Every structure is written in C-alpha cells, then in structure tokens.
Amino acid sequence: MTAYSGAIALTELLMITLTFHVLYYPGFTKTEKRWYLCTFVTVFFCAGAEFIAIHFDGRGQAFVLPLTVLTVIQFSATPLLPVFFVGALGLRRQAVVASAVFGLHLLAEIVSAPFGWIFRFDSAGRYFRGEYYIAYEAFFIISLVFLIVCLFVVGRRFRKRDVYTIVMVLVVMVAALLPLILYRVYTDYLGIGICACLCYIYYNDLIQEDIQEKLVADQEKMYRMQEHTISGMANLIESRDFETGEHVMRASRYVRTLAECARRDGVYAEALDERFVSTLYMMTPMHDIGKIVVPDHILKKQGKLTEEEYEQIKRHASEGGRVVREVLGGVTDEDYVAMASDIATYHHERWDGKGYPTGLSGESIPLSARIMAVADVFDALVSERCYKKPLPKEKAFELIRQEAGTHFDPRLAEVFVNHREEF
C-alpha cells in the first residue's frame, strides 16, 4: 500500500504541476487549454477516486453508497481521458465524436450500477468485479487505441523524433497495465499520468515547431520586403539621372561576385563570412541614395560639370549615410543600417586618400565601401551614361588594374581582374 500511495501521490503532483503550467503557458489557445485542463483534472480526480475506493474497501455498510457513486464516476471518466488528449492535440471533430460514443459507456455505468453488472460492493463494503466488467475494459482499450491512432494522425506530418514519443506512450501504457492485469498491482493511473505528460510535451513540441516555422517564414517575408523596398528606393534615385535600375542590379551582382571570389582566394576571408556577403549584397543598392539631395539639372546635365556642380555631385556621398539612417534606422537590423551607411558614405574614397568626402585611405576605408568602389567604377566605365559612351570591357579591366594601389584596394583589384570571366 505504501508503494501504491507513493504512485498516487506522484500522479496527483504531476497533474497539479501540468495544470498550473497550462494555465500560465501563453503558447496555447483557450480551446487547447480547456482540453488539457479537462485531461489533467480528470486524471487527478480518477486517481484520487481509485485511491479512496481501495483505501476504504471493506470498511462497512456505511461506505457502500458513496463508494458506488465515486466508482461510477471514475469508471465513466477514465475512458474519456484519451478523448481529452485527442482534443488537446487539435483533433476537435474526432474528440467530439468520441465523446458521444463514450457517453454511451457513461449511460451503461449508471444503468448497471444498481444491479452490479460491471462492479459491486457487498454489505461489508468490499469491491468485486461484475459479470460484465469486460464492458468497462473494452471501452478502456478502445479509447487507448483511439488515442494511439490519433497520435499518429497528428504526428505523421512532423519529424521522425515525434514518432518516438508515440512509441514511448505505448510502452508506458503497456508497462502500467500489465501489472494490473497480471498481478492486480494498481499502477495504471501513474502510467496514465506519465502518458498525459508525454502527450503534453509532444504537442508542445509540435506547437513550438509551428511557431518556429512561422517565425522563419515571417523573417523571410520581412527580408524580402526590405530587399524590395531598398531596391525600389535605389531605382527611384537612379531613374533621376536616366538610369533604369539596371546599374543597381549589375553593381549588386558585381559586389557579391567580388566578395565571394575574394573569400575563395583567401583575401579578407575572415571578414567575408556568409552574413557579411549577404548583407553587402542586400545593401549595395543604397550606395547612391545620397543623390536625392542633388538637384535634377545637375544630375541630368549632359555636358561637362562646372567645379561648383561637381561639388554638388560630391555631396551625395557625405549625405548618403545620413539619408540611410533616417530611412532605415529603427526599421531594419542595425548591422544592415551600419553597412548601408558605410557604403553610401565612403564608396568614393580612394586607397591613396585622395577621394571624398573625408579623405580616408587604405584599410581605414570600410571593406564594404572598398568592394563597392571597384564594382561601381567598373559598371560606370562599361555603361552608357548621358555624358559618355561605354568603354570596352577589356579596357575597363585594364583601368581597374592600373588604378590598383591608388584608387582601389590593390588586393581587391587583383581579385577582380583575375576573375574577369565571372564578371
């Protein structure tokens, strides 16, 4: 009896713990919480009812009626436990249908109680199985089979590890029922309690997977929205000086290809990890966003610019970082904003320190801007603009090579020229 009392106490404690967890867990809907609460409260009650019935067995005539009522409720509720499990696992329709079926069992228990067909208590208050006790066992086994089938229905669209949980439920249930069947050792409610815990963990794991998948999908959607917004803004800026956005797309491809080639060649490989390259590719379209502050008559001028007009053009670099932070600050990741700001501000700096807007030189120029400088100049050389004809590509590669160490980072320029077939 001491071991049995410990098993019942463990079951009750487990159900109390799960009940409080359900009440305060934010991941479930109100409907899911109701089904789980029905499950755990029913296990708690049935285990307690069985303990009381066994503890007061044979205590006399005065206990016959209350023990009969308590046992009817227990025998009626126990087969409903798998139904509650199934409802909690999300199969609402199946749970409702099963509830109706097992309602017949409730009716059978109530009708048979006065006649002792399923169970009875004698005048001394001792418990005996009735002639048709097998009806209770049949309903109980059917309910367990129903639970297992529904677990497979829920779990078939999930990963293999969740099938292992279903197998564990089977093993625990069999391990709990065999001592009862073979030796009349009452461990069934402890097994039911453990199975309830396993089912709870099982479904909670599925919920977390769904939440994780939704988060990933939402992040991917947000990423695409950011990318389209950035590209759209960049294309609007480019269209002001008769570009169609093709410069933005070409420059982005050149930047990504140059970064990947440099990484393969071991040039700045530690800095050029996957995240850096993907962020660089995403933020490249923002490099000329500062042109928004330059008047149209200067951007669209087809002749040679005056010195004053050229100073106005140069403003797009100094203003680029500010515009980026005003547009993207607080909207996207700070790392993205910082790189976009570096690209917009410093992509006209030169390796020899003779660039603008701040005259940075060498590796003090951010790596993202040094990569952007090569790609931007190359595309400008080989593209037709309102003020120039395009250069042949071989001539453009030669100019990049000649400007290595003066205009461009020499290591990046070497990578660019060595991989000319990829551009």
* Cβ–Cβ < 8 Å for 85, 95: no
- Rounded Cα distance between 281 and 372, Å, is 10
DSSP letters, 61-81, are GGGHHHHHHHHHHHHHHGGGH
Whether 389 is a known active-site residue: answer no
| Residue in 88, 91, 96, 95 with CA at minimum distance from that of residue 36 | 88
* Cβ–Cβ < 8 Å for 267, 259: no
| Residue in 22, 32, 139 with CA at minimum distance from that of residue 78 | 139
- What residues contact 58, with CB distance under 8 A and at least 6 apart? 124, 125, 126
Question: What are the C-alpha distances in Å from 82 to residues 88, 98, 125, 200, 362?
Answer: 10, 9, 31, 12, 71
* Cβ–Cβ < 8 Å for 194, 172: yes
* Cβ–Cβ < 8 Å for 413, 401: yes
Specify the DSSP element, H or E, that contains 345. Answer: helix 334-346
Residue type at 401 in one-letter notation = R
Residue 404 is classified by DSSP as B
Residue type at 181 in one-letter notation = I
* Cβ–Cβ < 8 Å for 107, 139: no
Specify the DSSP element, H or E, that contains 121. Answer: strand 119-121
- Which tokens belong to 392? 């042949």
DSSP letters, 282-310, are HHGGGGGGGGGGS-HHHHT--SPPPHHHH
Task: Decide: helix, strand or coil at residue 89.
Answer: coil
Marked catalytic residue, from 214, 291, 301, 388: 291
Specify the DSSP element, H or E, that contains 366. Answer: none
- Which tokens belong to 245? 């956005």
**Positions marked catalytic:** 291
